[in-house]
Homo-oligomer: A and B are copies of this chain.
Amino acid sequence: MFSVLNMRSVSGDLTAKAGIRNAALGLFAERGHSAVSVRQIAEAAGVSPALVLHHFGSKDGLREAVDRYAAAQFDAFLQAPEEVGDVLTSGSNASMAELIAKVLPPGSPLPAYLRRLLLEGDPAGRELFRRWYEVSRALVERLIAAGFAKPTEDLQVRAAFMLTADLALLVLREPLTDALGFDPVSPDGLSRWAAEVTRIYREGAFVVPDETTDRSADR
């Protein structure tokens, strides 16, 4: 209808194409890929269904574009690992979920899309997880070397467990909110959740059978 074309020369990414991508991101995150139609995406973006296919070739092409875009957004979180010790000393940002919830605007569809990405089984999500795992493993390694974390026989599983337990908060957010009575990904809920997780990671949760003999065995 109106002349929106001049936008193209203004900014390289504020075009209708980006609008379609964003609309698809939101709808995919909310309902899942197969439950969203091209027409619904087009309506949400305010364009015709044909334009969606014109820009992305097919619905699957759009999905891949959205996957790449979302994965790129999340990769940004891996850029700044800060100082090694900060992860522990400043009680915050110890977890990926915490970091994500803090940096992203409250209504962002990205956390929900991350859930889909990890669960829908597409290669983009698997690769993202794999990269995060590598970072997580390297971090645990450095924390142990720096004396902030206890050494373990199974570094890989330890890193995987901590990453998994972290992401699980995001993935199981809905049933958790329902069961707990509060949203553990909200700012308040998140600090409460993180406090208890830190407690477990510092003190453990179970009582070791006979502490004295165990300590003597350590020396």
Contact = CB atoms under 8 A, between A and B. Distances in A.
Interface of A: 32, 34-35, 88, 115, 118-119, 121, 125-126, 129-130, 133-134, 143, 147-150, 152-154, 156-158, 160-162, 164-165, 167-169, 171-172, 174-176, 178-180, 184, 192-193, 195-208
A27 to B, nearest CB: 13
Given A161-B193, A165-B161, A207 B149 contact: yes
Contact of A126 (B162, B168, B178, B195): B178
Contact of A148 (B175, B180, B201, B207): B207
Contacts of A154: 192, 195-196, 199
A208 B130 CA distance: 29
B172 A203 contact: no
Contacts of A32: 32, 34
A206 B149 contact: yes
A192 B126 contact: no
Nearest to A34: B35
